[in-house]
A = this chain, B = another copy of it.
Amino acid sequence: MNIEGVDFYYLSMPEVLDIGDGSQDLLMVRIDAGGYVGWGECEASPLVSIASFVTPMSHSACKPVRDSVLGQHINGVDDIRRIGELVRANSRDLLQAEHTLSGIDMALWDLLGKVHETPVYSLLGTAIAHPKRPYASQLFGDTPAETFRLAQLTRQDGYTAAKFGWGPFGLGSAADDADQIMAAREGMGLGGVLLIDAGAVWIDDVSRAEERLDVLKRCHATWLEEPFVSGAFDAYRTLADAARPVTLAAGEGCHNAWQARHLIDYAEIGFIQIDAGKIGGITPAADIARYAQQRGVTYVNHTFTSHLALSASLQPFAGHVDDEICEYPVAPKSLAFDLTCEHLDRDADGLIHVPNRPGLGMTIDIDAIKPHLVDLEIRVHGQLLYSTPQLDGS
């Protein structure tokens, strides 16, 4: 069968706040082929990712993503890899293409899962999908008192692992950050897994990160996430030595499998965090999950949006019993939560299961999200290149 339709839906909260909450808008992809429908989701900047799908060609290595997807045959999982390679070759000079590809790749896996009536992880060769221990992923409070309250609520809600990040963290003094970290630890209690996310705030400044190591060690933080931007390998390596037993985590800034491999090979991180909505989809994410396993690095998803994206992000390492924790957004905006009819809720043991349903196992709640649809139009020389399509069920 051939890919007959690729539709993009830009959805947004009525107001987008200037905070580190990635669930405020999203870009949904619908793919139609042979009577089947697959859904995927691209992380961040919907308008730019749509533009990269429809933009006029600049030259042979800078084509719109559409040219490598529409009309392609899709009969097996090898075709998904082939289409991804086509996109990367034909749109090599189009930076945004890998974000656009991410949702397309997910939608193709979802579609093939529906064709074969089997979950995506099974198509990926995973015999047993192991449940994951979710870490409650959230922003720091504006004050240590608020962070303490959030951590306490998280613990009362039954989570045994939590991550706090962004907000005021890293912007002020080391003493301010120490108060925040101690508040999080106090709220979580001594037994819980505590993860701290600096959101790349120190760029590549090792000394600023080092000032926080003592409190991270005293509070038994499991990891310090993104002290630096993804490319600052030297800074990561230097900090990794000083930080032990606290481990460094990074990877959400990776937009292709090469970048993730380099982080594993050259930055001495202990956890590689992959967002299937940014790295080019489930295909490269699964490649990195395997690569990390070979290199003794723990794989973990990066997900801060919907449960459709969460399901997609869990598939690549569902079979890895040792990669046991998963990121779990606990306070997404209503848009991101309402996107799907089903949700990946915790079981009695507090664990998350990858859906044992065809494809990504999620139904889009068309009625719930319709009000969030953004009306977008792109015209070149008066001719319509893109306008928001009708959003229908299937």
Q: How large is the interface on A (under 10, 10 to 19, 20 to 34, 35 or more residues)?
A: 35 or more
Quick check: B43 and A93 within 8 Å, CB to CB? yes
Quick check: B93 and A60 within 8 Å, CB to CB? no
Can you list, as one digit per residue, whether each of A59-71 has a CB less than 8 Å from chain B (1) or not (0)? 1111100000000
Quick check: A59 and B22 within 8 Å, CB to CB? yes
* Chain B: minimal CB distance from A388 (Å): 10
Quick check: B381 and A18 within 8 Å, CB to CB? no
Number of identical protomers: 2
Quick check: A166 and B51 within 8 Å, CB to CB? no
Quick check: B18 and A57 within 8 Å, CB to CB? yes
A-B CB contact pairs (8 Å), 30 listed: A18-B63, A21-B59, A21-B60, A22-B59, A22-B62, A24-B59, A25-B58, A45-B52, A45-B55, A45-B58, A45-B94, A45-B95, A47-B54, A47-B380, A47-B385, A48-B51, A48-B55, A48-B95, A52-B96, A89-B203, A94-B96, A229-B258, A230-B258, A231-B257, A231-B261, A231-B262, A233-B262, A374-B380, A375-B381, A376-B379
Counting CB contacts under 8 A, is A392 at the interface?
no
Q: A-side interface residues toward B, CB under 8 Å?
A: 12, 16-22, 24-25, 43-48, 51-52, 54-63, 85, 88-89, 92-96, 98-99, 166, 199-200, 203, 229-233, 253, 255-259, 261-262, 266, 278, 374-382, 385
Distance between Cα atoms of A95 and B99 in the complex (Å):
8
* Residue ID in chain B nearest A257 by CB atoms: B231
Taking CB atoms, residues of chain B closer than 8 Å to A230 are 258
Q: Which of B24, B51, B89, B203 contacts A58 (CB 8 A)?
A: B24
Instruction: Assess A231 versus B253: contact at CB under 8 Å? Given A24-B59, A93-B45, A95-B95.
Output: no
Distance between Cα atoms of A266 and B61 in the complex (Å):
25
Distance between Cα atoms of A199 and B90 in the complex (Å):
12
Q: Which of B48, B262, B380 contacts A94 (CB 8 A)?
A: B48
Q: Which of B19, B62, B231, B376 contacts A59 (CB 8 A)?
A: B19
Which 4 pairs, one residue from A and one from B, show the smallest C-beta to C-beta distance? A231-B258, A51-B51, A44-B93, A96-B96
* Chain B: minimal CB distance from A16 (Å): 5
* Chain B: minimal CB distance from A101 (Å): 11
